[in-house]
Structure 1
Amino acid sequence: MRYPIGVAVVLLQGVVAAHAQHVSTVSTVPVTSVRYVNGIMPTMDRRLYLHAILEQFEARYSGRGGEFRYDGQAWYGTDYDKLWIKSEGTVSTRGQFGGGDHEALYDRAISRYFDFQTGVRLDIDHGPTRAWGAVGVQGLALYFFELSATAYFSDRGAAGRIEGSYDIFLTNRLILQPQVELNLYSNADRARGVGRGASDIDAGLRLRYEWYRKLAPYIAVTYAGTFGQAADMARRDQQVVHDLNVTFGVRTWF
């Protein structure tokens, strides 16, 4: 019986020695890349990040002419608090800048998938400038629909905007994206062609190929239309009420 006991003792000594060597190796890993603040290691959710995406950068063509449209946003901050910038607009073939609104928002995470946003919106294009206060939410709804709902307030009344989109992966790189944006107003604004109630909609079905993850060209069918009072104003001004376009563009982010 002495021989088996001696073997067990030798094996136990080997295991202990190997464990001691592993602990020694792990304990000597340098941590100089971590920056301490007042002697405390910062948590990862307090780091500052910058992200920007140009969701739409496209040329639209129909039988009545064409226009260029862009829609992008960027944010800077931590996982919980951010400064969020949004901007969109169109440029017609006559060089007229329209539909230009720009938002500066404070963004606060309120759940795993949604953020609360508040700030200001400025309508700046060829028409008269309008300023609004803004409050809303943005994030991922059930089944990962990207959703944004914002209410705006000014001395001219209230307004609302609902935006949604969804990515359908046909392959790992070929993605079909339906998208819609709807604008509503409590009061008409003749100078800006805005009608009371549901005023205008912009929608599209885009097929993009992520040739490079941060650069994806796409083709699309897009629609821009006005309703009710806004449509009547467009007809009186001899403008397009409903416009269906063939569209080419690129989506990029960093």
Structure 2
Amino acid sequence: MMNIIKITALCLLLPSAALAQHDHSATYHAVWLETAFSRHEGKETAYWEADGWVGGDTHKLWLKSEGKVGDARKNGDVWALYSRNVSTFWDMQIGVRHDFGEGDRNWLAIGVNGLAPYFFETEAHLLVGEEGTVGARLRQENDVLLTNRLILSPSLEVNAVSQADTQRGTGSGLTDATAALKLRYEVNRRFAPYVQLDHQRKLGETAEWARAAGNMTEDSRISIGIRWLF
């Protein structure tokens, strides 16, 4: 863990020094926070997703987190990333991700963030764990304006790892995929209530383990929440 922390500290501090010396553009910041609640099969769960950055046009520091709390259990992750603009629509990113809950994990994260063709917001990251485990995460989302205030956002997230992790119940290869539809109403730019439908499916070896344990391999839920912009 210490090696990953040291590497990440260098990754974050060196670009920050470069930012202070060479980036003379204005410094901005933005923070998005989504909080949601669902009740499924008698179980109540609260969800959060936070995404924020500070910096200029070329250099940014990102902090992100998402997770859920339910049945006295908490699962989620926290990201800290240095982001550098490399083209009109794309940033390169490097930093660290910490998973907590069912077995804490630390990862070195390297990837891209930007706008793919047809206006798909894309996050693609390669993850390197403490014991040589390699993971990958791909997420895409698109905003479809139904009216000036009513927006439909389909999204897809896929995860994979190179080695099985019995503590977290994930096998090697593709582990899971989540497709979602979010319908939000923007009362104003900073406040938007929404309703969301998620369908998650376990894949490959992870699904085989779930079936062997008598657990479900796919699940759907509806949640209601609020999106805030600070």
Partner of 1:228: 204
1:103 aligns with 2:79: yes
Return the offset for 1:236: 4.7
The one-letter code sitting in structure 2 at the alignment partner of 1:232 is E
Q: 2:28 matched to 1:49?
A: yes
Higher-Rg structure is 1
Gap regions ≥5 residues in structure 1: 1-42
Scaled by the length of structure 1, what TM-score is found? 0.77
The structural deviation recorded for 1:148 is 0.7
Instruction: Give the root-mean-square deviation of aligned CA atoms.
Output: 1.9
- Secondary structure of 2:148 counterpart: coil
Cα shift at 1:225: 2.3
1:6-46 Cα shifts (integer Å, max 9, x gaps): xxxxxxxxxxxxxxxxxxxxxxxxxxxxxxxxxxxxx9961
Deviation at 1:202, TM superposition (A): 2.2
Counterpart of 2:60 (choices 78, 82, 87) is 82
Q: In the TM superposition, what is the alpha-carbon distance from 1:229 to its structure 2 partner?
A: 1.8
Give the distance between the partners of 1:236 and 1:62, measured in 2 at CA.
23
TM-superposed CA distance for 1:234, in Å, is: 3.0
Q: AA paired with 2:36?
A: E
Q: Please give the alpha-carbon distance, in whole angstroms, between the structure 1 residues aligned to 2:24 and 2:220.
A: 44
Secondary structure of the residue aligned to 1:143 is helix
Judge which range, 114-123 or 66-75, deviates more: 66-75
The answer to whether residue 220 in structure 2 is matched with residue 241 in structure 1 is: no
For residues 241 and 156 of structure 1, the distance between their equivalents in structure 2, rounded to whole angstroms, comes to: 27
1:1-254 mapped onto 2 (5 Å cutoff): 46-54=25-33, 56-63=34-41, 65-92=43-70, 94-98=71-75, 100-125=76-101, 127-154=102-129, 155-254=131-230
Q: What CA distance in whole angstroms lies between the structure 2 residues aligned with 1:122 and 1:236?
A: 29
Letter in 2 for 1:203: A
Gaps of 5+ in 2: 1-21
Whose strand proportion is higher, 1 or 2? 2
Secondary structure, aligned partner of 1:229? helix
Secondary structure of the structure 2 residue equivalent to 1:79:
coil
